[in-house]
Amino acid sequence: MKCYGDVRSGKTRRGGCVKTGIGAWITVLAAAMVLAAPAAHSQTRASSTPAPAGVPLLDAKLFVEDLLVSKGHKRTNIRSLMLDPRLTIDDGFIIKNLFHSAPRPSAKQPEYMEVDPKLIKRGPQFVQEHKAAFALAEQRFGASPEIITAILIIETKLGRYPMKYDVFRAYASLCTALDAEYLDSVLESRQDASIPAPDEEVYAKARKKGSWAVNELSCLIELAAQVGIDPMTVRGSFAGALGPAQFIPSSFIKYGVDGNGDGRRNPFDMDDAIASIGNYLKLSGWKEDAPLEKKRQAVWAYNHYTIYVNTVMMVHDRLKSLKDRETLPEVSRK
């Protein structure tokens, strides 16, 4: 299956479209699930986070199952994932991705994100620790160690930031935004007073996020098979980004590179992450001798926030300054 092509549209009863609902087939499919695995069914329902009022949890999982089958996955394989007791549907991921995904500005310099100066100072040592991968990225893709290291500092603190979220759960939960009734109940039951009242723009964004999540969940399953891991064990951000470089699954499938010569592309391997960032930047227009605006556009392709671009370029410049100081003759430093 081609997991980064077109995704199933999120047709709902809003905006004059016809709802892609679950009512027409839910009874038959639910009965089949109960007959196939009654014990697993009971365990899943009992161990899962309660769904919003009026939408049973089992309906949400069946809805996600049908969406993944529409992407070309075998129903038997997806059924086993949906019945896995580790999977819970948490509508909090919808709220987080709709309203809390923007980078936070620094209190002192709001045009930048907060960055620990110690991470920048550690940059040169980090480059030396992964010298071969950085050399590959620079020779093959024209991306300097400083720009790649800057991105890794911002994304995961050079791979040291703890990954708090279950990525499969995040994507599966976000997929449910494509069901109109479920989305209504999630938004109407919101507890955060800072969240604006839902309007057509919010619903349109939710449908877009839901369609995106279906594609990413499909790609996550494919990527996990390629790497040889259980997709249920993948940890990452609440937006589903994974590994040191925080690629989403479809992006790593498309841009991922083997950075250590082991014949595998692994988003959780630091050397592969380094090479893959270099590849992504090159394809986004990065060149070391390019005008500043061209460089900024390449970084913006990695993350569509101006504050993110500002911060990466600031860290890049500071890393360049550290490198220049290290290469100065001893006499000129005095």
- Do 68 and 218 touch, CB atoms closer than 8 A? yes
Residue 143: phi and psi, rounded to 5, are: -105, 125
pLDDT of 30 higher than 50 = no
pLDDT of 217 higher than 50 = yes
CA separation for the pair 92, 104 (Å, rounded): 19
pLDDT of 58 higher than 60 = no
CA separation for the pair 117, 18 (Å, rounded): 52
CA separation for the pair 69, 44 (Å, rounded): 20
pLDDT > 90 in the chain, percent: 72
Query: pLDDT tens digit string along 231-285?
Result: 999 999 999 999 999 999 999 999 999 999 999 999 999 999 999 999 999 999 9
Q: List the chain domain ranges.
A: 14-101+166-236, 117-156+243-333
Query: pLDDT tens digit string along 62-119?
Result: 999 999 999 999 999 999 999 999 999 999 999 999 999 999 999 999 999 999 999 9
pLDDT of residue 40: 37
**Residue 209, token pair as written in the block:** 């996020």
Give strand pairing partners of 166.
235
Q: What H or E segment, with its residue span, contains residue 202?
A: helix 200-227
Region of poorest pLDDT, from 17-21, 57-61, 68-72, 207-211: 17-21
| pLDDT-based confidence at residue 215 (cuts at 50, 70, 90) | very high
- Do 57 and 90 touch, CB atoms closer than 8 A? no
- Do 325 and 333 touch, CB atoms closer than 8 A? yes
Q: Helix (H, G, I), strand (E, B), or coil: what is residue 105?
A: strand
CA separation for the pair 273, 47 (Å, rounded): 35
CA-to-CA dists, residue 132 to 61, 122, 125, 319, angstroms:
44, 18, 13, 19
Q: Helix (H, G, I), strand (E, B), or coil: what is residue 311?
A: helix
Query: 44 CB contacts (<8 Å, ≥6 apart)?
Result: 57, 58, 61, 82, 83, 84, 85, 87
3-state helix vs strand vs coil in the chain, percent to 5: 60, 0, 35
pLDDT of residue 29: 43
CA separation for the pair 250, 4 (Å, rounded): 6
Mean residue pLDDT of the chain comes to 85
CA separation for the pair 102, 308 (Å, rounded): 9
- The number of C-alpha atoms within 13 Å of 10 and in the hemisphere containing its C-beta is 27
pLDDT of residue 98: 93
pLDDT of residue 48: 41
For tokens 């038959």, name the residue: 28
pLDDT of residue 323: 87
Topology of the domain covering 117-156+243-333: Lysozyme (1.10.530)
Amino acid at 19: K
pLDDT of 208 higher than 70 = yes
Strand ranges inside 65-195, DSSP E: 165-166
CA separation for the pair 223, 252 (Å, rounded): 8
